[in-house]
C-alpha cells in the first residue's frame, strides 16, 4: 500500500510558494522601514505558477491540487467559511476521488478472492449433428469378414443438457490469499481516511492563503487612503510655500506606488481564490469571500494525542494492515506445498433428441499433491518474504516519521504563536509611531520624510503580522494533519463550531 506522505510534502510546497513569492515582492523600505526612498513594486510575472507546458503532468504529480468542478453557481457573493470549503473539498477533490476509486478496486479484488473459495455453478445444453469418416479414423474390417465398411457413418445427432458444479473443499492457499486481500481492503479504507486528512490540509492552507491575501488587500487600501490624504496635505503646504516641491513629487510617487500595490494585492487575492476553487471544486465563475478573518486564537494542548499519533494515525494503521497482508501472502506461498482437495460434478440428461433424454450425472473428488515444482514454490516464498521485510521496514519508518511530524508541527505552532504576539505588538507600536509622526508633521515640527518612514514601518508591521498569522494558522493545520483525524480537530483548533 502506498503512503501519501510525498504528496503532502509537494502539496505544502505548492501551497506555501505564494507566501514566499509575496515576501519577495516587499521592497527594502518595507522590510526595515527606516529609509525614505520609495520602491516601485515589481512587475507581475504571468509565467509564475503556471500549469504550462502540461496541465496533465501537474494533475498526475499531485491530484490533491485538482478537483471535479461542481458547476453550481450561487447568485451574488457567496460567504465561504473554512468548514464550508473543507466540506466542498471532501466532495469534489480529485485526490480523494482517486483514493475512493482505488478503494473500490481493492474491494473488488477481495470479492474475487472470496469467489475462488465458493462453489461455481453453470449450465450447458447442446444439440449436435455429425457424420464420421471411417477412412479418416482408419477403421476397416478384416478381409475375412466378407464385406467392407462404408466410407462414412452417415449423419446422426445427439442432445446433452447438464448443470455443472465445482468447488474447492480444502485449499489453504486460497484461504490465505483471501485473508490477505481482506487485510488490503482494510488498509485501503484507512488510506482513504488519510486522504481526507490530506484534503483538509490542502483546503485549509489554501483558504488561509486567501484570508492572508484579503488582509494584504485591506492593508494596501488603507495605505492608499493614507497616501491620498498625505499627498493632499503636502500639495496644500507646497501651495502655501511651507514645504519644498521635492516633498510634493515624493508624495505623488508614494501615491502611485500605493495604487499599484492595491492592484497587485487584488490580483494576488483573485489568483489565490482560483487556487482554492481548483482544490475544492467550486466553480471558477462563483464570486465568494471568506466569512471570517480568523484572527489569533490560542493553540489547544494536543495532550495524549501527540504520543498516540505514531500508532493511531490512519496512514500508519493502513501500513500496519499492509504488513498483515504481506504476512498472509507468505503463508499463502507456503500453502502451495499442501494437498488441495476439490469437488466437481454434473447432472442432467442426454439422448438422440430432447424427447428421448436419459438421466446422466457425474461426481468426482480430486486430490492434487505437489511433488516436484523445480523450485517454483521456493522462489515464490522468497519473493513474498522480501516483500514482507520491505513492508515492515516502511511501517517502522512511517512510525518514526509521524513522531517527527508531530514534534516539528508542535514546534512550528509554538514558534508561530510567539511570532504572532510579537508582530501584533509591533503593529500597535508602528501605529502609535505613525500617529505621532503625523501630528508632528501637521504642527510643522518635522518634514514629510518622517511620515513616509512611519507609514512604511506600519505597512511592514502589518505585513509581518499577516505573514505571522498565516504561518500560525497553517502550523495549526499541519499539527492537525500530523495528529490525524483532521476533520474533527479543525473545529477545535479554530473554534469554527
User: pLDDT tens digits for 236-251?
Assistant: 878 877 778 888 888 8
Pairwise CA distance, residues 195 & 189, whole Å: 10
Q: Can you give the pLDDT at residue 342? A: 96
User: pLDDT, tens digit, for every residue of 161-213?
Assistant: 999 999 999 999 999 999 999 999 999 999 999 999 999 999 999 999 999 99
SS3 state at 147: coil
- Residue with the bigger pLDDT between 29 and 275: it is 275
Asked if residue 179 belongs to a domain, the reply is: yes
In the numeric block, the cell 508591521 is attached to 461
Strand 78-80 with 288-290, pairing = parallel
User: pLDDT, tens digit, for every residue of 42-55?
Assistant: 455 544 444 444 55
Pairwise CA distance, residues 267 & 249, whole Å: 27
Asked if residue 366 belongs to a domain, the reply is: no
Pairwise CA distance, residues 75 & 73, whole Å: 6
Pairwise CA distance, residues 278 & 362, whole Å: 63
Assigned C-alpha cell, 106 = 481493492
The arithmetic mean of pLDDT across residues 3-27, rounded, is 41
Domain range for 180 is: 5-119+171-340+373-494
Asked if residue 130 belongs to a domain, the reply is: no
Q: By percentage, how much of the chain surpasses pLDDT 70? A: 87
SS3 state at 166: strand
Lowest mean pLDDT among 137-146, 311-320, 408-417: 137-146
Asked if residue 141 belongs to a domain, the reply is: no
Q: Can you give the pLDDT at residue 463? A: 93
pTM of the model: 0.81
CATH of the domain at 113: 1.20.1600.10
Q: Can you give the pLDDT at residue 12? A: 47
The size of the chain, in residues, is 497
Asked if residue 148 belongs to a domain, the reply is: no
Asked if residue 162 belongs to a domain, the reply is: no
User: pLDDT, tens digit, for every residue of 298-309?
Assistant: 988 888 888 888
Asked if residue 480 belongs to a domain, the reply is: yes
Asked if residue 287 belongs to a domain, the reply is: yes
Question: Count of domains in the chain?
Answer: 1
Amino acid at each position: 500500500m502506498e503512503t501519501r506522505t510525498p504528496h503532502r510534502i509537494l502539496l505544502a510546497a505548492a501551497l506555501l510558494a505564494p507566501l514566499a513569492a509575496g515576501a519577495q515582492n516587499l521592497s527594502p523600505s518595507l522590510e526595515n522601514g527606516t529609509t525614505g526612498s520609495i520602491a516601485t513594486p515589481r512587475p507581475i510575472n504571468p509565467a509564475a505558477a503556471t500549469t504550462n507546458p502540461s496541465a496533465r503532468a501537474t494533475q498526475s504529480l499531485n491530484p490533491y491540487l485538482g478537483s471535479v468542478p461542481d458547476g453550481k453557481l450561487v447568485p451574488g457573493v457567496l460567504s465561504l467559511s473554512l468548514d464550508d470549503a473543507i466540506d466542498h473539498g471532501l466532495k469534489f477533490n480529485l485526490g480523494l476521488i482517486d483514493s475512493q476509486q482505488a478503494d473500490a478496486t481493492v474491494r473488488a479484488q477481495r470479492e474475487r478472492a472470496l469467489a475462488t473459495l465458493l462453489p461455481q455453478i453453470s449450465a450447458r445444453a447442446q444439440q449436435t449433428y455429425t457424420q464420421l469418416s471411417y477412412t479418416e479414423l482408419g477403421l476397416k474390417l478384416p478381409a475375412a469378414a466378407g464385406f467392407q465398411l462404408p466410407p462414412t457413418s452417415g449423419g446422426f445427432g445427439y442432445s446433452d443438457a447438464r448443470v455443472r458444479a465445482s468447488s474447492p473443499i480444502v485449499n489453504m492457499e486460497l484461504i490465505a490469499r483471501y485473508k490477505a486481500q481482506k487485510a488490503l481492503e482494510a488498509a485501503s479504507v484507512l488510506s482513504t481516511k488519510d486522504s481526507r486528512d490530506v484534503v483538509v490540509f490542502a483546503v485549509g492552507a489554501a483558504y488561509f492563503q486567501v484570508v492572508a491575501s484579503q488582509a494584504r488587500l485591506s492593508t494596501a487600501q488603507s495605505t492608499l487612503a493614507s497616501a491620498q490624504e498625505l499627498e493632499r496635505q503636502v500639495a496644500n503646504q507646497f501651495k502655501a510655500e511651507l514645504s519644498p516641491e521635492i516633498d510634493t513629487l515624493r508624495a505623488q510617487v508614494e501615491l502611485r506606488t500605493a495604487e499599484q500595490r492595491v492592484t497587485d494585492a487584488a490580483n494576488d487575492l483573485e489568483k489565490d481564490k482560483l487556487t482554492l476553487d481548483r482544490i475544492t471544486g467550486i466553480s471558477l465563475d462563483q464570486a465568494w469571500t471568506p466569512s471570517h478573518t480568523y484572527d489569533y486564537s490560542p493553540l489547544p494542548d494536543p495532550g495524549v494525542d501527540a504520543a498516540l499519533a505514531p500508532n493511531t494515525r490512519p496512514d500508519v494503521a493502513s501500513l500496519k494492515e499492509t504488513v498483515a497482508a504481506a504476512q498472509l501472502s507468505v503463508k499463502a506461498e507456503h500453502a502451495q506445498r499442501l494437498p488441495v482437495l476439490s469437488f466437481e460434478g454434473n447432472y442432467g440428461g442426454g439422448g438422440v433428441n430432447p424427447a428421448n433424454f436419459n438421466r446422466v450425472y457425474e461426481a468426482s473428488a480430486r486430490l492434487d499433491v505437489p511433488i516436484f515444482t523445480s523450485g517454483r514454490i521456493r522462489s515464490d516464498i522468497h519473493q513474498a518474504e522480501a516483500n514482507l521485510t520491505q513492508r515492515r521496514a516502511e511501517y517502522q519508518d512511517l512510525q518514526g516519521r509521524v513522531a517527527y511530524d508531530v514534534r516539528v508541527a508542535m514546534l512550528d505552532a509554538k514558534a508561530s504563536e510567539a511570532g504572532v504576539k510579537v508582530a501584533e505588538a509591533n503593529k500597535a507600536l508602528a501605529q502609535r509611531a505613525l500617529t505621532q509622526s503625523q501630528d508632528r508633521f501637521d504642527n510643522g515640527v518635522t518634514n514629510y520624510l518622517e511620515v513616509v518612514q512611519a507609514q512604511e514601518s506600519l505597512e511592514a508591521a502589518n505585513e509581518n503580522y499577516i505573514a505571522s498569522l498565516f504561518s500560525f494558522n497553517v502550523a495549526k493545520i499541519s499539527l492537525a494533519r500530523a495528529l490525524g483525524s483532521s476533520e474533527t480537530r479543525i473545529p477545535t483548533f479554530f473554534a469554527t463550531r
